[in-house]
Amino acid sequence: MASRRLLPIAAIFLSLLVFASNTNSNNSVEAYCPVVICPGFGNDSIDYDTPLQQPSDVGLKSVLTRRGFDSSQIYTVPVKRSDWVRVAGGLFDVPDFYLGTAKPTGFGYGWYVRRLKEIVDLAYEESGGEKVMLIGHSAGGWLARAALGDGSWSEDNSNNKDDDGESAGEKEVIRTSDRVRCLVTIGSIHMVPEQESTCVTRGALKYTDANYPGAFLKNEGIGYVSVDGELLISEVDDLYKRRGEGNANRVAFSSYKAVAGNGNGNLIGDGVVPLPWTQLEGSKQIVLQNVLHSINEAGTTQPTDRWYGSENVVDRWLPAVLEEANINNKKKRGEIAAFDLDGLQQWASNLVRR
């Protein structure tokens, strides 16, 4: 009889312990560093906050916040879906666009690279000088590489003034490694197609890979991680048939052909980008099984919880990123000493079962 009276008390106590453990897991670390998310081609900044009109706790920003990042220091390059029409501005890159020698700083993609660098500078300044982690999704990955450039981030003349406030001598060069801690690419394209003339970037991707190959600035202390997906399309198609939706195999074939110049059945990938094209040479490479490229099931507008940035997937790559970025899991200053929370939870669980 006594054990029955203890049951509701134990249940309440267990609930409080679970709540406490969740609270501690969210707040037991200092903010790792500022983060800048670089949207992929066709994506909107909102896709990483409230994807497909889902609640904000589903978005990548919230997923990262629950793992110790400060939500006020998670930024996304400001991009609207309609902004991608500006890629057509590459037509004005004469003759580079037509010769396939366009540059990532040209009319087609220069607007994106500039915004990315501006938001990195903002994140750096608002954090009080903390180096930034870049997470580049899809095309955002190679565009982030273009922004990192040859290692010269910008020129600063503010510390080179004479007594009258005029410029005095040479400008100070700010290194990229002074601003950026690590680049993580998820489902990103890092190589041109087998037939270079078919590359839709008209040379911008080739220029980036040729001039800043692989983990180009790794020797300057910038970490590189490339996260890739390996998806069994046949299993996805079975799911689609049951739901009466799309055709993942058709989408993958078309996308793989556009990216690689080859859409044959021998290629594997995340349903949009074939695996070999996502593996950046010199980076820490992580291949994930049964992970989708984006926030929606390929060929549909159906949200998915199996894309790189979802709650169910992020822990399969984030720990390696923290290691590559040389980030330590530091306890907050002044935090109360930890106690055996796991033991107490186990005790309460046993009591409830009895």
Query: What is the rounded CA–CA span in Å between residue 306 and residue 296?
Result: 9
pLDDT 10s digits, 213-256: 999 999 999 999 999 998 765 555 555 555 544 555 666 777 78
State the pLDDT confidence band at 343, using cuts at 50, 70 and 90.
very low
State the pLDDT confidence band at 11, using cuts at 50, 70 and 90.
very low
Query: What is the rounded CA–CA span in Å between residue 231 and residue 248?
Result: 10
- Residue 203 host element (H or E): none
Among the ranges given (83-92, 107-116, 170-179, 251-260), the one the predictor scored with the smallest mean pLDDT: 251-260
Superfamily of domain 35-154+174-229+269-340: Alpha/Beta hydrolase fold, catalytic domain (3.40.50.1820)
Query: What is the rounded CA–CA span in Å between residue 341 and residue 226?
Result: 36
**Residue environment code for 173-208, b if the CB has 16+ CB neighbours within 10 A, otherwise e:** eeebbbbbbbbbbbbbbbbbbeeeeebbbbbbbbbb
Given a cut of 90, whether residue 36 has pLDDT beyond it is yes
Verdict on whether the full-model pTM lies above 0.75: yes
State the pLDDT confidence band at 29, using cuts at 50, 70 and 90.
very low
Residue 39 · residue 45 · CB < 8 Å: yes
Between 188 and 298, name the one with better pLDDT. Answer: 188
State the pLDDT confidence band at 165, using cuts at 50, 70 and 90.
low
Half-sphere exposure of 194 (CA within 13 A, CB side): 9
Indicate the DSSP class of residue 234.
H
pLDDT at position 152 is: 95
pLDDT at position 75 is: 98
Given a cut of 70, whether residue 192 has pLDDT beyond it is yes
Residue 17 · residue 320 · CB < 8 Å: no
3-class SS of residue 231 = coil
Contacts (Cβ under 8 Å, ≥6 apart) of 314: 60, 63, 64, 67, 308
